[in-house]
Structure formats: structure tokens, C-alpha cells
Amino acid sequence: MLTRALGVLTAVAALLASVVVGVANAHGSTTDPPSRNYGCHQRWGSNFQDPTMATKDPMCWQAWQADPNAMWNWNGLYREGAAGNHQAAIADGTLCSGGRTQAPRYNSLDAVGAWQAATKSRQFTLTITDQARHGADYLAVYITKQGFDPTRQALGWGNLEQVIRTGRYASAGTYSTAVNAGSRTGRHIVYVVWQASHMDQSYYLCSDVIFQ
């Protein structure tokens, strides 16, 4: 009897593991410049219990402490059914968690502070990696207005200016677009809405950058 129960438990555990792996292999994110959780996964995924992260990369540290699944599922930060009305779906202060989607998994990505930022020139190429090959109806790319300080202020729609909205992309592993940040300098957030094509599924992605 005990052996049978253990057998069932083992089967359930194997099933759960396969579900988790399945989720981790689906969907995508902005990989260049890296989104907050993708960047934390890149830098610390193989070393996420290293206590020096607390001082070397404190925003990633708080994210790993809050919920490691925000990093393991770096490709799962989406909402469904926004019907194109992203500003209604996502409240100010929650833009980087996709409006606290799948809460509380991604809430830590809204934390205000000195996220590690990628250095970019003001004309750069942005790349989404799409492991699920959903395609894109469009990528809408926004950048914070000059003067906004992401290390001290929560991000709201009023802090952003849309710099490009692309056309469609056929299903592929990556989608790239040229982005012109104008005369911006210093630290900014690049905010991407990736509207997938297979269904009404929208990804909301914050990438921290420093423009040279």
C-alpha cells in the first residue's frame, strides 16, 4: 500500500516537473536590451543563492528573494484579453509586472531602484526572443521621458513616450526593430508591448538602459 502511494506520488511529481519545464520553454521576452527578469536570469541563474548578489546586484537580489519563478519563467510575463487597450489593463506603478499578472510572481519587477542597466547608443536594435514562435502583430516601444529617474520614481504611462510601433512579424525565433532614442542621455527604461499573433496575448517588458 505504501509502495503504491509512493509510486503515485512519484508519478505526480514527474508530471508537475514536466509542466514546469513546459512553461519555462514557452513564450519569450526582450533579450536585448535585457528585460529585468531576463537580465537577472542571465547574470545569476546558475548562481542564484550567491549572497554577494545582495550588494553586487540588489534589485535582482530582491527579485530572487521575492519569487525565483519570476526569473525561471522570464518568458512568461504576459496577460491575455487586453484587446489592445494596454493602458486600461495596466495600472501606473505596475507596468514592469504587466499589471501584477500572475500575482505575486512578477511583482518584484516593479520595485523602484538601481536595476543593472545595459549601455546603448541612442540608435540601437531591440530584440525580442520568442521561444514559442507566436509571431507578432506589432511591437510598441516606449522610452521614459528625459528627466525621469527610474531609481527613485515608480513608472507610469505618463512617464513614457512611444518611439515606434512596428508592423507584423511572421513567426520566428526573434523579432528585431531599430529604435531611435532621440536626444535622450543617461538612465532610462525601455518599455515594450509585444502583441503576439496566435491569440490576444500581450507581453509587457521593462529593460533598463543607459544611453551614451
How far is it, in rounded angstroms, from Cα 113 to Cα 36? Answer: 12
Is 112 a binding residue for Cu ion by CB under 5 A? The answer is no
Question: How many other β-carbons are positioned within 10 Å of the β-carbon of residue 107?
Answer: 18
Give residue 135's Cα distance to chain centre.
Answer: 17
- Closest contact distance (angstroms) between CB of 135 and Cu ion is 11
| Cβ at position 132, least distance to Cu ion in Å | 5
The residue at minimum Cβ distance from Cu ion is: 27
x/- track of binding to Cu ion for residues 5-34 (CB under 5 A): ----------------------x-------
Beta strands in 65-200 (DSSP E): 78-80, 118-120, 123-130, 136-144, 160-165, 174-180, 186-196
**Residue closest to 157 by CA, chosen among 114, 204, 112, 196:** 204
What residue ranges in 2-41 does DSSP mark as E strands?
28-32
Least distance (Å) from Cu ion to the CB of residue 201? 6
With CB under 5 A as the contact rule, the residue among 24, 132, 154, 172 that binds Cu ion is: 132
Which one-letter DSSP state was computed for residue 145? Answer: P
Between 132 and 210, whose beta carbon lies closer to Cu ion?
A: 132
CB of 47 vs Cu ion, minimal distance in Å = 28
Q: How far is the CB of 133 from Cu ion (least distance, A)?
A: 9
Question: In the complex with Cu ion, which residue's Cβ is closer, 24 or 111?
Answer: 24
Using CB under 5 A as the criterion, what x/- string covers residues 48-87 for binding Cu ion?
----------------------------------------
CA–CA distance from 57 to each of 93, 119, 145 (Å)?
22, 16, 25
Q: What is the DSSP letter of 62?
A: H
Which parts of this chain interact with Cu ion (CB under 5 A)?
27, 132
